[in-house]
Amino acid sequence: MMLTIPDVLTAEQLQQCREALDRADWQDGRSTAGHLAVRTKANQQLAQDDPLAQQLADFILAQLGRCPRFMAVTLPLKVLPPSFNRYTDGGTYGNHIDNAVFSVPGTPHRIRADVSATLFFSEPDEYDGGELVVQDSFGCQRVKLPAGHLVLYSSGNLHRVEPVTRGKRLAAFFWTQSLVREESQRSLLLELDETIQALTLQVPESPELIRLTGVYHNLLRHWTNT
């Protein structure tokens, strides 16, 4: 399941983030790659202990907490603080699958990666190439979203970032451990939630809404992994 969420950040928030990232101290992204990924990774990242990265990560986490769509899609138990990358001058990241488990920086805690996310900071016309290509059950999905938009997809999917041949591609990326581990179950819960929301607008006084809402929460209770 791949979903996009528009306008996670406002134009003003984007401008502030962009100004901060333009003066950031970028490092070789291969420093965080595993022994296989290091062969295909050619980008730049902010160090996890960079104060600017930590400040921006906290800001984005706060925005996600106010985003009902993100909450409904991911059903988050834990969210790894976002990291930040930059692709330019042919920068790319070849086919890979994200790690199953990540350590939370500065803590003894770890999270399971269920849902991967990319939040775009650059407009599509600011750079050539740089598409996020995700291989799922529907084939290869190519993603290049407007700045401020977020894409979510299963962390178990093979994916890559195409070479950036002009301009620069700035983005945040992070992982979520969901309350519901199975993607198929999360999809059913999202469909049920969207149905309830639609019926609330159409027939707000219907007693069946209470029953449907109860079904949703009982399924969530049954499928929750904590």
Residue range 15-54, pLDDT digits in tens:
999 999 999 999 998 877 667 777 889 999 999 899 999 9
CB 93 within 8 A of CB 169: no
Nearest to 9 by CA among 54, 61, 55: 61
Note the pLDDT of residue 34: 67
For a pLDDT cut of 70, what percent of the chain falls above it? 98
Q: Distance (Å, rounded) from C-alpha 171 to C-alpha 116?
A: 13
Q: Comparing 136 with 120, which gets the higher pLDDT? A: 120
134: left (phi over 0), alpha (psi -120 to 50) or beta: beta
Mean residue pLDDT across the chain: 95
CA 198 to the chain's CA centroid: 25
**Domains parsed from the chain with CATH numbers:** 3-178 (2.60.120.620), 183-223 (4.10.860.20)
pLDDT at 138 over 90: no
pLDDT in tens, 94-115: 999 999 999 998 899 999 999 9
Note the pLDDT of residue 165: 98
Sign of CA dihedral 60, 92, 139, 223: negative
CB 83 within 8 A of CB 44: no
Average pLDDT of the segment spanning 113-138? 96
Q: How confident is the model at residue 189 (pLDDT cuts 50, 70, 90)?
A: very high
